[in-house]
Amino acid sequence: MRELFENTPSEDPIEATRRSMRTVLPRRFYETAATAAVADGYAVRLDDKPVRTPARRVLAAPTLALAEAIAAEWHAQKDVIDPAKMPLTRLANAIIDGVADAPQPVAAEIAKYLASDLVFYRAASPPGLVERQARHWDQILDWARRALGAEFKLGEGVVYVAQPEAALAAARAAIREEPWRLGAVHVITTLTGSALIALAMAHGALSADAAWQAAHVDEDWNMAQWGRDEMAMARRDFRLAEFSAAATVLGCCPQAER
């Protein structure tokens, strides 16, 4: 099982399919997928045996709700075990094996997005796209100003706009280093191209649906004008599964009081 979850694809369903064809997936060998209380949370168990991460740590979550959601992924596997269809398990593995030991580099990577966040760069035309961007993105900037004290500047097109250091520092301070929520925020940031979308969602100011729509304003506009590309939609569906896993982590792991 260890080899299956090492270097599993995170964004490209085409590569996921190719990898599945190259790798012989193991047949489901267990009858039940359940949870059990352990010292630091709740472990996922298959036929009452612990599941191990690629680094041989126990697959366990800090809350029962999250452990049950992970166990549900294992229960949903049919004849074979396919990691490409288990985004929550993959995210849990990454958090347990990586983020928990070194949260600072993960937080720093999220912070890098703040300097050139998606929501800063606006179209000059057509009017319909300008309106859509404002409708979805202005509320995020308003939240950053009110809740974080971060006043950002807007740019037009793709020309880089330097942001005030005070705004960047205020937003960076909102990145919490609790491993599970941090790992989820990192996934949302990289999938959306926006640390502010991820932070607004993590702080309860933006729903998952609203965050996903905000991240795809330009893409949705282009599809409305030119039609859907099936390969692009397959990639988007794959990313949505990753995004939904991160949203599940945020929903199941309440934000600690500071």
Task: Report the CATH number at residue 19.
Answer: 3.30.2180.10
Dist CA 74 CA 28 (whole Å): 9
The answer on 167 and 63 residing in a single domain is no
pTM higher than the cut 0.85 = yes
The pair phi, psi for residue 198, each rounded to 5°, is -65, -45
The answer on 234 and 120 residing in a single domain is yes
Residue 124's domain comprises 103-252
CA distances from 215 to 46, 53, 258 (A): 37, 31, 28
Q: Which amino acid is at 57?
A: R
Name the burial class of residue 85, with classes exposed (0-12), middle (13-18) and buried (19+) by CB atoms within 10 angstroms of its CB.
middle
**Least reliable range by pLDDT among 84-88, 106-110, 209-213, 223-227:** 223-227
The answer on 15 and 138 residing in a single domain is no
Q: How confident is the model at residue 227 (pLDDT cuts 50, 70, 90)?
A: confident
Q: Which two tokens stand for residue 33?
A: 């997928």
The answer on 159 and 109 residing in a single domain is yes
Q: Over the stretch 172-204, which tens digit does the pLDDT of each residue have?
A: 999 999 999 999 999 999 999 999 999 999 999
| Domain's final residue, options 91, 123, 145 | 91
The pair phi, psi for residue 132, each rounded to 5°, is -65, -45
The answer on 113 and 83 residing in a single domain is no
Dist CA 157 CA 142 (whole Å): 21
Q: Over the stretch 230-255, which tens digit does the pLDDT of each residue have?
A: 888 999 999 999 999 999 999 999 88
